[in-house]
Amino acid sequence: MSNNEMVSPDNALPAGQTPVLEMPFFHRVTGDRLDRSFPGSQTIYLALGCFWGAEKLFWNTEGVRQTAVGYMGGFTPNPTYRQVCTGRTGHAETVRVTYDPEQISTEEILTLFLENHDPTQGMRQGNDVGTQYRSAIWCTTSEQFVAATALKGVFQANLLEAGYGQITTTIAMADGVEFYLAEAEHQQYLENNPFGYCPVHATGVCLAQA
């Protein structure tokens, strides 16, 4: 099996003993604990390739209360980064985005998601190849799911007009899908490593065409 083919539950790596990130851990940009709750906020989980640059995109967005990176959508509990890179956990590199809907709408969050990677590439983003780099959205409300499905349809039409193929982004509810926080060195990675490698693979296609 290559690492760009989804592993089966029977062939996935076994669970780790404990979470790889111990609490308390404090966000390197905002200073808040990563397990802090934000009353009135909403959370959505977004996979769009390498999570280092994707997280920075969202922590720099007004209305976003907190970000964190982790692993989601696979079968191995408490995976390490090295394990995820083998393609044998089934997890995607994912950004947890907590936002204030009074300051930024779900549609605006999803627009940033769609316009800042190439959602037609399947199990890759550019030279980053593997199931961990696939495009996915895990929603925590039915409103998010409806918005994601509608915007995907609009963006698909725009991509086809620009010569791109079919969107491969999966959209699902997060119910029962565990998000495992990544190791400390990956949290807000580009804050500690401002020259770290994590290119944006945006298509240049906009959701709202001129």
Contact 52, 69 (CB under 8 A): yes
Q: How far from the centroid of its chain's Cα atoms is residue 188's Cα? A: 13
From CA 89, how far away is CA 190, in angstroms rounded? Answer: 25
Other CB atoms within a 10 A radius of the CB of residue 114 amount to: 29
State how far the Cα of 99 lies from the Cα of 86, in Å rounded to an integer.
Answer: 32
CA distances from 159 to 37, 123, 128 (A): 37, 18, 21
The catalytic residues are 50
